[in-house]
Amino acid sequence: MPRTTVLSYESARRRRGLTLLAVIAVLVIIAFIISVNTGYIRLTPQELLNTMLGKGTAKQELILFDFRLPRIVISLLIGAALAVSGAVMQGVFRNDLADPGILGINAGAGLMVMLLISFYPSTSAAPVFLLPVIAFAGAGFTAAMIYLLAYKRHEGITPIRLLLTGVAVAAGISAAMIVLTLRLDPEKYQFVATWLAGSIWGTSWKFVLSLLPWIMVLLPYVIYKARVMNVLSLSEQTATGLGAAVNKEQFRLLAAAVGLAAASVAVSGGIGFVGLVGPHLARRLVGPKHQLMLPASALVGALLVITADTIGRWILQPSEIPTGIVVAVIGAPYFLYLLARTKS
């Protein structure tokens, strides 16, 4: 194929990818507007605009600024973080089934958060800004354990062995969490039950501020490493031949992925499948090159979580369905579909 034809094809594909990114961004904005107006107490568009401009009543400002906006912002942030975390794991492990929830990373982070909170008299007394750090320690230890258990000399890590190891470790951690709940008082037990269901429980601006530094540092870093991830997606021998420091880059990217997942878990609980579905849909839309795929994953993940949270708050008003359950309704069938297609 002539070089000019190849360049023309690549240029057209890039333009299509950027157009789709813009479309997904518009869908995120639409979902944001709908979510702001979803709840037991409705705000008309005019009331919403007046409140945003500082002309609303005290009640309207309380509903919008203290309850809804922090939760919506957190939904967007954790959706983007979990999806990008999953995209990194899929690229580094060359495993389409990799996801921080399925592999047990979320469970490891959640166990440490649960242990921290159990030492405080109430869940609200726990140090908000320490939660992501503690979650990162738990997630990092879990990731290292899964890697060591799944690694086999002369074979490396096969997709199915990694998956089964992650599921087994996640099951063990979940069992430990259930045993620990037997020692909790009713308030903390209710919190743990809510966390396990994947409810966005950190719904104040303090939790947004505790999550934001992790997102602002790690998300741009991963996107900056997009070209490196393109190389790592090839075979290890090819990546080494192209001059990539494979082990070093894999460690750095996995640390960033674990950090994104852990910080999200610290404020949102065990929301699974976002890191699985987000990258897959992004890859289908914009192609496998990580320069476009990673931003697309972030946008798709944000759209998925904010949509799931909105549905969960709307469908059984005034009660609500945990966001993790709504996401699982979408993600679990897709995971089974991918599992059926995986050959090794």
**Is residue 60 within 8 Å of 47, Cβ to Cβ?**
yes
Measured between alpha carbons, how far is 96 from 103 in angstroms, rounded to an integer?
A: 12
3-state secondary structure of 68: helix
Is the sign of the CA dihedral 296, 301, 302, 303 positive or negative?
A: positive
How confident is the model at residue 207, as a pLDDT? 86
How confident is the model at residue 287, as a pLDDT? 86
How confident is the model at residue 113, as a pLDDT? 82
**Is residue 72 within 8 Å of 48, Cβ to Cβ?**
no
Residue pointed to by tokens 């910080």? 263
Burial of 271 (0-12, 13-18, 19+ CB in 10 A): buried
How confident is the model at residue 74, as a pLDDT? 92
DSSP single-letter state for residue 123: G
Per-residue pLDDT of the chain (344 residues; tens, 9 = 90+): 555 664 566 777 778 888 999 999 999 999 998 888 887 777 777 777 778 877 878 887 888 888 888 889 999 999 999 999 999 999 888 888 788 888 888 889 888 888 887 776 655 556 778 888 889 999 999 988 988 888 777 666 677 788 888 888 988 988 888 888 777 777 777 777 777 777 776 677 888 888 999 999 999 999 999 988 888 877 667 766 666 677 788 889 989 999 999 999 888 877 888 988 899 999 988 888 889 999 999 999 999 999 999 998 888 777 788 888 888 888 878 777 777 776 54
